[in-house]
Amino acid sequence: MEKILITGTAGFIGYHTALKFLAEGYEVVGLDNINNYYDVGLKYGRLEASGIHKDSLEDYCLKGYEEGKQKPFDSLPAGRQGAQGDASGNNKLNDGSDNPESCLPAGTAGIRNLKSVICNLHPATLKTLQEHSPFKYGTLYQSATNPRYRFIRLALEDYDCLKELFEKEKFDRVVHLAAQAGVRYSITNPFTYMDCNINGHLNIMEACRHNKVKHLVYASSSSVYGSNTKMPLSTSDNVDHPISLYAATKKANELMSHTYSHLYDLPTTGLRFFTVYGPYGRPDMALFLFTKAMLEDKAIDVYNHGEMWRDFTYMDDIVEGVYKVTFESKALDIQMTDDRLQIGWSDPNRQSTIDNRKSKIKPDPSTSATAPFKVYNIGNSSPVKLLDFIKAIEDKLGKKAKMNMMDMQPGDVPKTWADTTDLEADVGYKPDTSIEEGVGRFIEWYRDYYNK
C-alpha cells in the first residue's frame, strides 16, 4: 500500500483527510507546525482524536509558559517580531528588555518557523531554549489508535528538515493542505502568508520533485476568483485580479505548480475549496462564530447587511473530492499521454512543439498543453444566502439570532458559486450534502465537544 504525506493534519481539512486515507488502508504521515493562528487546544483535540497525544508533542516544558505567566511572541512572523536589532547592532527582545524569557512562546503557541526564530534570538534566550527543549520538534510520533498513522511537528519553511523527512520516508503521493488561512488576517499579517504559503509551497514542491513523488495535490481557494462576477465561478475563468493577499498567495501556488509540472514533469493538482464547514471546524469561520455566540446569547456580526451568498461545502464532501482527485486527477492522464511534450532542456524541438500544440488546443487556465497540471473547484454548486444559513442554525439550536448588521469587510466578496463540471467529468464526483444536514452535524459535534 502507498505511503501518503498529508500536511496540515492538526488543521480542519487535514485532520479529516488523514482519517479518510487511513480508512481506505493507506499509510499516512501527518505534518503540522501547530501555530497559534487560532486556539491550539482545538488543534490538539483533532490530534488526540487521531491517537496523537498532546504530551508527546510539547516542545517546551516550562510550566510558567503553559500557565500564561510569561509573554508570548506577538502574532507577526518570528524573526521580524520576536527579536530585533537596535541601531548598534545588538539584539533586543520584543518587549525591549534583556530578560530572555520575555519572548518565549506560551506552550506550543507562537512558533511558526523554528529555524527563523532561532537565528534571530537573543543569545540568552537561545540558551534557555537549549536547556529546556526536549527536542521534540522534527520527531515522528506513532498514533496510539492506528498503526498506519504517524505525526511530525514541522514547519513548512524548514526545508532542511522537510528534505530529510522526504528522503527517509519515500512518500508516494503528497496532499498539501497546510497553509496560513484567512482572508481578513492576511490584511494585518501579510508576511506570515509569504513565509508559509509561498516559501512553504516552494519547499514542498522541491521535496516532491527531488524524491520522485507520483502526484502533488494541494489546497488552493475559491478566494482566487477575487472580483469576478460571472457565475458560476469556473476554473476556465481568468483569475488575475485577487482582492486579498491570501488569495494572491493561492493564485501564486497554482502558477508555481504549473512551472514545476512543466520543468520537472511533476503531476500537480490544485483544489479550489469553497467555504468548508463541519465538525472540528475553524473558530474564525461563520458557522463556528455564529453557533458560539448564539449559545452564549450574544449578537452575531452579519456583513453586507446579510446580502451575501456562499457555496457552503460540507467537510465530508471536500474530503471525498480530495481522495478521488489524488488518484484520478486529469493531471495524471496528461502525464501518461504518449504524445505529450517531453519535458527537458535538451529537446531541440521544444519551442516548435509548444507552438504546434498551442495552435490546436484552446487555452484553459485550469489545465496545460505542456505539463501534467490541473485545477479543480470543489464546492456544493448551490449558493446559500447568508440569512438563510443563519436561519438553518437558528432552527437547529432552537433559538433566534441577535444580529449586528455590518458593512462589507475589505477583501470579502458578495457571492461564491462553484462550477464543478470538470470535477464531475474527470473523477465522477459531485458534492451534495444539504445545508440543513451539514449544519445539524456541526451543531451536534459542537454541543458534545464543548459540553453546551
What single DSSP character describes residue 96?
S
Collapsed DSSP state (helix, strand, coil) of residue 115: helix
Q: How far is it, in rounded angstroms, from Cα 82 to Cα 74?
A: 7
Closest residue by Cα to residue 382 from 431, 421, 437? 431
Q: How far is it, in rounded angstroms, from Cα 224 to Cα 418?
A: 12
- Residue 97 CB neighbours (<10 A): 13
Exactly one of 246, 264, 429, 446 is catalytic; name it.
246
Closest residue by Cα to residue 418 from 436, 408, 430, 410? 430
Q: How far is it, in rounded angstroms, from Cα 447 to Cα 202?
A: 40
Q: How far is it, in rounded angstroms, from Cα 446 to Cα 235?
A: 34
Backbone angles phi, psi at 389, to 5 degrees: -65, -45
Residue 246 among the catalytic residues: yes
Alpha helix ranges (H) inside 307-380: 315-328, 330-336, 350-360
Angle between helices 159-169 and 200-210 (to 10 degrees): 30
Q: How far is it, in rounded angstroms, from Cα 257 to Cα 420?
A: 21
Ranges of beta strands (E only) in 177-302 are 215-221, 268-273, 276-277, 299-302
Q: Which residues contact 257 (CB under 8 A, 6 or more apart)?
A: 201, 205, 216, 218, 268, 270, 373
Backbone angles phi, psi at 218, to 5 degrees: -140, 155
Per the structure block, which three cell numbers stand in for 9?
493534519
Q: How far is it, in rounded angstroms, from Cα 296 to Cα 318?
A: 30
Peptide bond into 105 cis (omega under 30): no
β-partners of residue 28 are 4, 149
Q: How far is it, in rounded angstroms, from Cα 452 to Cα 442?
A: 13
Backbone angles phi, psi at 93, to 5 degrees: -80, 170
Return the amino acid letter for 187: I
The residues annotated with a catalytic role in the active site are 246
